[in-house]
Every structure is written in structure tokens, then in C-alpha cells.
Amino acid sequence: MDAMTRCGAIPPHLLEHLAQSSNEHRARRAQATLQADQRHRTARIDIPVPTQPDDEDEAEAGEQPQAGNPNRTIHDAAHSEHLPGKEVRTEGAPETDDPAVTRAYDHLGATYRLFSEVYGRDSLDGKGLPLIASVHYGTDYANAFWDGRQMAFGDGDGDLFVCFTSALDVIAHELTHGVVERTARLAYFDQAGALNEHLADVFGALAEQYAAGHTADKATWLIGDGLFTDAVEGAALRSMKAPGTAYDDDVLGKDPQPAHMDDYVETFMDNGGVHINSGIPNRAFYLAATEIGGNAWETAGKVWYEALTSGEVKRDATFEQFAAATSGAAVRLFGDGSAQVKAVNAAWEGVGVPTP
């Protein structure tokens, strides 16, 4: 991922749609969020790109580091856009009376536990990287983002979106971009960018499932459920089970995600449709996880994590190349001809992506 790229929870195509709303208040708030995103992207141009892992790192060697303990620090941006803001809670400190601080602290911890306890990864970089977050970012800021160094959460607009610390899967999604930055470093354009968003959705969903103890057949497979207010006709930002069905609202429009390569969207918007076409690999992961059954973090999740950290996934990877990487990872983990390998291959075939 390029150093100047900031990944936000709300896709730009959705905010741009809102910015054209006939409701002046909604349009103004959406425009303010888009402008804040643009200012922050510009401010990050001089931040260095994370270095490529060396031969001893697990991204090249396929070795998993030992798990450690989280190191969380939460700040209060006090509705400014200056990060990180005032420090309000550190690792192990007592809970404050601010629910946003509590949720941010807890959800950072839940994400850490998924990667640590299931995949043996010590934080985002595998080396105990501190987890830093700021709450109450901006005024009526309807988004959350990972900027390469920390998380930031807006309080929502009070109209369509609630506080962005509310959704564990969204927080885990954003933090997973930090994992991708330090492993495959997928470029944030076209199919590689859609894979970047896809992987963030995968581990966002798995963090929520792991925390709740939900098996693949019991999980919602929704990303960002709970972020909408009652004013929105929709369940979530995205559906991994049924891309294109997450929302259909007079204000937000209709979920544009395709579920099959036959409907792949060719566009110059959204860095080549990274938030749109990610629906295709998302559906593939859902199909693999539910076909295998049980706890998705233990089966399909391990396959996807193995592929991500194997060194086989290049910065400009296509869907087909990533499918091949997951197929190979499944063979290494479960054996050639296993039910898991067959499920992974069938899942990709089911969305129109061929596998070896």
C-alpha cells in the first residue's frame, strides 16, 4: 500500500453519493468528511513506506512469530483533526467514563487477540507494534481510518451513521490494512487494491466471529452492521455472503458490489473500484468458510493468512493469482486432495475465478 494511502471505513463512492444529496445538511456533512479525508491524505505524503520484510521475516520465510501482549494507547482528538490528541487511556489502565474510549480500547484488544492467539502474530507488524487510536476525530466526521501509524474514529453524523467505535469488524478491518502493509504490501489499485480491501474484510469478520464464538454457519458475514442509524434502509456497509445486498436506501443508494466476475466493475473511480470489486473475493471466502464449516478463523482464515504471509502474493496480484496462493496454502496446511483444498478451489470457481 502506498505511503500516502489512507484507508477509510466508508467507501468514497458512498460519501460522494451523499455529497450530491438534495438534503443540504447531509450533503454538507458528506462533503466535510470527504474534504477531511483529502486533507489527511495530503498531509501523509512524507510518511515513509514500511520497509519490505527481510529474508528472516515471516512474510518471506512463512514463519509465525510468538504471540505477545497488546500495547494500546487511546487519545481524545476533541473534535479536531490533529492527531493523536490528548492521551486518555493506556494499556492496563482503568476504564474511563467515555464509551468511545472503552469501545476503542476493547476492540483494539479483540483484534490483537485474533492475530495473536489464532495466527501467532504479535500485533500488526509481528513485532509488538503499539496500537494507537484517537476517538472524537473531527466534527460530524462520518468515518474511521488507519493512516499507517494509528486509528482514528469519528463520532458519526448523528443522522445516518453512529459513532465509528461501535463496530468491532470495522476496527479490525482498518487494523488489518496495517498487517497487509507489512506482509504482501498490496498496491491500492484495481484488483490488488480490491484484494487489499477483501483481506481487511476477511479478518474484520473473523475478529468479530472469534470474539463472539460464532461458527461459520452462525455468523452474519456483514461488515459494518450497527453503523447505520434507523434512518437507513440497510443492514451494513457490505455483505460477504451476498455482495450487493447490504443496503438499498433512498439516500445512500444501492450497494454496488458484484458477487461474480461476470459483473466485475471497470471504473476509474475509487482507485479502480477497490471497495466495489472486493465483493467477488469476499463471496469466495464466505463460500470456502461455510463449505468447510466450523470456526472460520481455524480453517479458511488460516488458509488466507498463510497465503498473505507466504511471500507468494505480489504487490500487483490479481484475483486469479491470489486464488492460486490460497489453493497452495490450503495444500500446505491440510494436504493435497483434502476437503479444505477442494472447498477453497470450488469457492473461487463459484465466483468465476479459476484456480490451478
Query: Residues 214-260: pLDDT tens digits?
Result: 999 999 999 999 999 999 999 999 999 999 999 999 888 999 999 99
End-to-end CA distance of the chain: 27
Residues 145 and 201 in one domain: no
Q: Which domain holds residue 177?
A: 7-181
Instruction: Kindly state whether residue 101 falls inside one of the protein's structural domains.
Output: yes
> Residue 200's pLDDT is what?
96
Q: How many domains does the chain have?
A: 2
Name the active-site residue from 174, 181, 208, 312.
Answer: 174
Instruction: Kindly state whether residue 356 falls inside one of the protein's structural domains.
Output: no
Instruction: Kindly state whether residue 279 falls inside one of the protein's structural domains.
Output: yes
Instruction: Kindly state whether residue 262 falls inside one of the protein's structural domains.
Output: yes
Is position 174 annotated as part of the catalytic site? Answer: yes
Residues 211 and 112 in one domain: no
Question: Are 303 and 288 a contacting pair, CB within 8 Å?
Answer: yes
- Min mean pLDDT across 157-161, 165-169, 310-314 is at 157-161
Instruction: Kindly state whether residue 292 falls inside one of the protein's structural domains.
Output: yes
User: Tell me, what amino acid is at 241?
Assistant: K
Residue 180 has pLDDT above 60, yes or no: yes
Is position 260 annotated as part of the catalytic site? Answer: no
Residue 44 has pLDDT above 80, yes or no: no
pLDDT digits (tens, 9 = 90+) for 316-326: 999 999 999 99
For residue 245 the three cell numbers come to: 445486498
For residue 127 the three cell numbers come to: 513485532
Instruction: Kindly state whether residue 11 falls inside one of the protein's structural domains.
Output: yes
For residue 171 the three cell numbers come to: 476496527
What CA dihedral angle connects 231, 234, 236 and 239, to 10 degrees? -170
Q: What whole-number percentage of the chain has pLDDT above 70?
A: 89
Residues 173 and 196 in one domain: no
pTM, full prediction: 0.90
Residues 147 and 202 in one domain: no
Instruction: Kindly state whether residue 269 falls inside one of the protein's structural domains.
Output: yes
Instruction: Kindly state whether residue 2 falls inside one of the protein's structural domains.
Output: no
> In sequence order, what are the residues at sequence separation of 6 or more whose Cβ sits closer than 8 angstroms to the Cβ of residue 12?
34, 37, 269, 270, 275
Give the position of cell 451523499. Answer: 18
Confidence band for 140, pLDDT divided at 50, 70 and 90: confident
Name the active-site residue from 107, 198, 275, 306.
Answer: 275
Give the position of cell 461459520. Answer: 216
> Residue 50's pLDDT is what?
40
User: DSSP string of 175-233?
Assistant: HHHHHHHTTT---SSHHHHHHHHHHHHHHHHHHHHHHHT--TTT---EESTT-B-TTSS
Residue 135 has pLDDT above 60, yes or no: yes
> By C-alpha distance, which of 162, 234, 176 is closest to 205?
176
